[in-house]
Amino acid sequence: MGIDLLFKIAGVGILISVFHIALKQAGKEDMAHLCTLAGFTVVLYWVVQLLGRLFSTVQDVFKLF
Amino acid sequence: MWIKVIGALMIIFAGISLGFIAAFRFNERPRQIRQLQSCLTSLKTYINYTVMPLPEALAASCEGINGPVRDFFSCSANMLAQNPMITPQQAFVQSILQLKGQLLLEQPELDLLTTLGANLGKVNCEEQEKYLDMVSQQLANIEIEAVQTRDENVKMCRYLGICGGLLIVIVLV
């Protein structure tokens, strides 16, 4: 995994916050929220994949199946 | 490695270009509306005081300006001069269709131009002057609205273009 993913998540967070501010200043608040939600979904997808790997590792370590 | 870097740079450049093109379209619309207003004012003068025929008046009214609005007026003037059977409205509609990609006007302005074409050359000079005044007034209102839209959207488009390119690069890397 490395530290790359953390930097990727931080980068996406920064860019999504810029998106949010730009859209909010243009008066498109609904689009701003939609954009934040899209960024959150992308990051959640990455994190869920890692959590899946974590759970399978725990299963392997304790010989749960 | 270098291919990745070059690809990332190309994606960022494409994002920036898209953002700036969208911003340019918002910037250009009020400018074209202003040009249209100035041409219509000249047209009013040529119709009222010089009493020129319509094709010549249209061609003369766009002198001194550049860009798609000039093309629109000269194209309409050419059509009217070459084909006497065509009405001014048909000439305007065909010119709008020909300059679709360059003329960055939206539906309200285009509708105004089409109805203006329907009224040009059919009534006496005074009535045409009144109608041109009304169209200029409506264009002024549309310009105010277009300037508001520009102020809201130009910065947003630039930011979204740049950040969108960066976001795609981060997600793909």
Q: Least CB-CB distance to B160: which of A22, A27, A42?
A: A22
- Asked if B170's CB is within 8 angstroms of A42's CB, the reply is no
pLDDT at residue number A10? 92
Backbone angles phi, psi at B62, to 5 degrees: -95, 10
Decide if B163 and A42 are in contact by the 8 Å CB cutoff: no
Number of domains in chain B: 1
Q: If 0-12 CB within 10 Å is exposed, 13-18 middle and 19+ buried, where does residue A26 land? A: buried
Which residues in chain A have Cβ-Cβ distances shorter than 8 Å to B152? Answer: 26-27
CB contact under 8 Å between B166 and A28, yes or no, is no
Contact list, B170 vs chain A (CB under 8 Å):
8, 11-12, 15
Token pair of A61 as six digits: 């370590």
More confident residue, B124 or B39: B39
B36, amino acid identity: L
- For B109, residues 6+ apart whose C-beta sits below 8 A from its C-beta are B33, B36, B139, B142
Predicted-complex ipTM score: 0.76
Task: List b or e across B65-80, with b for residues whose CB sees 16 or more CB atoms inside 10 angstroms.
Answer: beebbbbbbbbbbebb
B39 token code pair: 């041409």
Size of interface A-B (CB pairs under 8 A): 35
pLDDT in tens, A9-56: 999 999 999 999 988 988 889 999 999 999 999 999 999 999 999 999
Distance CA B52, CA A23 (A): 50
CB burial readout B32-50, b (16+ within 10 A) else e:
bbbbbbebbebbbbbbeee
- At residue B13, the pLDDT reads 94
Does B45 score more than 90 pLDDT?
no
Partners of residue A18 in chain B, C-beta under 8 Å: 159, 163
Residue A1: pLDDT band by 50, 70, 90 thresholds?
A: low
Range of the domain at B104: 2-172
User: How do residues B140-171 score in pLDDT, each as one tens digit?
Assistant: 999 999 999 888 888 889 988 998 999 999 88
Q: For testing the chain A interface, which of B170, B172, B173 should be mutated: the one with the most A CBs within 10 Å? A: B170
Shortest Cα distance from A64 to chain B (angstroms)?
Answer: 34
pLDDT above 80 (res A65): no
Residue A15 CB burial class (10 angstroms; 0-12, 13-18, ≥19) = buried
Amino acid letter, A51: L
Q: How far, in whole angstroms, is CA B144 from its chain's centroid?
A: 15
- What is the phi-psi region of residue A6: left when phi exceeds 0, alpha when psi lies from -120 to 50, beta otherwise? alpha
Predicted pLDDT at A37: 94
Rounded to the nearest angstrom, the minimum Cα separation between B23 and chain A is 13
Please give the full DSSP string across B65-94, using - where no structure is assigned. --SHHHHHHHHHHHHHHH-TTS-HHHHHHH
- Percentage with pLDDT > 70 across chain B: 100
Residue type, A16: I
Determine whether A14 is exposed, middle or buried from the number of CB atoms within 10 Å of its CB (0-12, 13-18, 19+). Answer: middle
State the distance between the two ends of chain A, measured CA to CA, in whole angstroms. Answer: 25
